[in-house]
């Protein structure tokens, strides 16, 4: 596993990290790991749905004319097969 060192962390930030870690019953180191994981996940590129929504939501969305759904064919009945009973 990788390690990092954070230098020049001001005392107020360290104090708040310690308090937050205590609230979550974690060490300061584990709390920092969790915060970094969360920050990195939030940096991921948005999904295609989110990207499209970001474009169309400001203009009120887009109405699409969808064709009615219909069955392509009737489901099989299996009437032509013999019964399994003797």
Domain around 38? 10-56
The total domain count for the chain is: 1
User: Does residue 35 sit in helix, strand or coil?
Assistant: helix
Whether the model clears a pTM of 0.85, i.e. scores above it, the answer is: no
Alpha-carbon gap, residue 11 to 42, rounded angstroms: 26
Is pLDDT at 39 greater than 90 in this prediction?
Answer: no
Is pLDDT at 12 greater than 90 in this prediction?
Answer: yes
Q: Is 5 contained in some domain?
A: no
Q: Is 75 contained in some domain?
A: no
Alpha-carbon gap, residue 6 to 12, rounded angstroms: 14
Q: How many CB atoms neighbour CB 32 within 10 A? A: 17
Q: Is 35 contained in some domain?
A: yes
What band does 80 get if pLDDT is binned at 50, 70 and 90? confident
Mean pLDDT score of the chain: 87
Q: Is 82 contained in some domain?
A: no
Q: Is 61 left (phi over 0), alpha (psi -120 to 50) or beta?
A: left
Is pLDDT at 85 greater than 70 in this prediction?
Answer: no
Q: Is 44 contained in some domain?
A: yes
């Amino acid at each position: 596993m990788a390690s990092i060192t954070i230098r020049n962390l001001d005392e107020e930030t360290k104090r708040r990290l310690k308090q937050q870690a205590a609230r979550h019953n974690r060490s300061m180191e584990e709390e920092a790991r969790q915060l970094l994981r969360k920050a990195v996940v939030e940096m991921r590129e948005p999904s295609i749905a989110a990207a499209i929504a970001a474009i169309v939501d400001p203009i009120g969305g887009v109405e699409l004319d969808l064709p009615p759904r219909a069955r392509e064919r009737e489901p099989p009945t299996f009437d032509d097969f013999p019964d399994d009973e003797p």
